Amino acid sequence: MTQDLDRIPLNEVRDLLHIGHKLPFRVLDAQARLLLNEGHVLLNEAQFDSLVERGAWAERSQVEAERVARAAGRTPPAAPPPSLFDRWDRLLWDFDKLSRAPPRSAALGHAVTAFFAQLQALVERDADVALFLALRHDDQRFALYPLTHAMHCALVAVLTARQLGWPAPRIASVGCAALTMNWSMFDLQATMAEQDTPPTARQLKLIRAHPEAAVELLRAGGVTDDEWLTAVAQHHEHPGGTGYPHALTDVSEAAQVLRAADVYMAKVSARATRPAMAPQQASRELFQQRTGDAVAMALIRAVGVHPPGSLVQLRSGEVAVAIHRPATGTQPIVATLSDSAGHPCAQTYRRDTA
């Protein structure tokens, strides 16, 4: 009861929230998992509606403090014009709405295809920004992990498929497959992202069944693309026959791209019980586990040894973050974060590490 009294449903504080302005308090979901931090920009009404549908709420103490501040005449600061980062965040909330569409919706396939077209347009606009966001998700919003993981896997799968020289329709198939490969277990993924105990027997059963369950949902949603469906069905199979659910030895190339993207993004994403792995280490492990594998090499070349968002130390002693992949070679363009003595930079400097 005390917990309920500490929560104020988000729809009861609508008067304190303004589109295009920063949130005056953090927003949590029904399981008390972080959805949005204080200072996050409220993007549009659709995002607000998605939050309400998730059972979002704010902490009473923060709401009351904000009402006192408003009564004293304080006005919320306006946010700057939407950036490309904001467009990606808006896309995340569009995906949230899509993921909670009625099960077995007959329009699912068309909706996913349309959504992928939006994601691909943002990748075309600046793939380095997309990779930066995929690697620097430091706020640990575990409630949204299934959504961000699917979108980031789609990004990596698209870049890998391009590196392999695939035609546009085939790239679209693997991108849609990445978005939907875990469609049947999004809730379980969110739970396990913050779970500090090993999977239960029930969870393991759902995990092993999720590829075929996802295919069933997609077929019911009107998806007839064989490459899309096969990739989803086989994305946990290994060519050596050690995967699941059927221990196949003949695995489609699209499924292999999906699995590589899935494994890579899982390694570089934090969980409640472990930090994110450095991208360089994730690439090294992928290379060692799949030496000579064309898909693994294409993924590493596509994202780069030091992809945007990864931290590096320069020979000068400065610490920097990669912001652009090089046209050739392995030396990225970086932005400095600290000077050679380890002190935070008052001003960021752009460095070409080549």
Q: pLDDT tens across 106-151, in order?
A: 889 999 999 999 999 999 999 999 999 999 876 678 889 999 999 9
Across the range 195-223, mean pLDDT stands at 94
Same domain, 108 and 6: no
50-79 pLDDT per residue, tens? 999 999 999 999 999 999 999 998 877 677
Nearest to 237 by CA among 254, 214, 224, 215: 254
pTM summary value:
0.91
Same domain, 24 and 90: no
Look at residue 3 in the predicted model and tell me its pLDDT.
Answer: 64
Look at residue 1 in the predicted model and tell me its pLDDT.
Answer: 43
Look at residue 138 in the predicted model and tell me its pLDDT.
Answer: 64
Tally of structural domains, the chain: 3
Across the range 194-203, mean pLDDT stands at 92
Cα Rg, the chain, nearest whole Å? 21
Q: Which domain holds residue 120?
A: 84-303
Same domain, 299 and 315: no
| pLDDT at position 2 over 50 | no
Look at residue 119 in the predicted model and tell me its pLDDT.
Answer: 98
Written as six digits, the tokens of 198 are 């090993």
231-273 pLDDT per residue, tens? 999 999 998 899 999 999 999 999 999 999 999 999 999 887 8
Q: With respect to residue 275, please indicate whether it lies within any of the assigned structural domains.
A: yes
Arithmetic mean of pLDDT over the chain: 92
Percent of the chain past pLDDT 90, that is, above it, reads 74
Across the range 286-290, mean pLDDT stands at 84
DSSP 8-state secondary structure symbol assigned to residue 106: T
Same domain, 245 and 186: yes
Same domain, 30 and 147: no
Residues 62, 25 contacting (CB under 8 angstroms): yes
Three-class secondary structure of residue 224 per DSSP: coil
Same domain, 9 and 45: yes
Same domain, 188 and 247: yes
Which residues lie across from 334 on neighbouring strands? 322, 351
Q: With respect to residue 243, please indicate whether it lies within any of the assigned structural domains.
A: yes
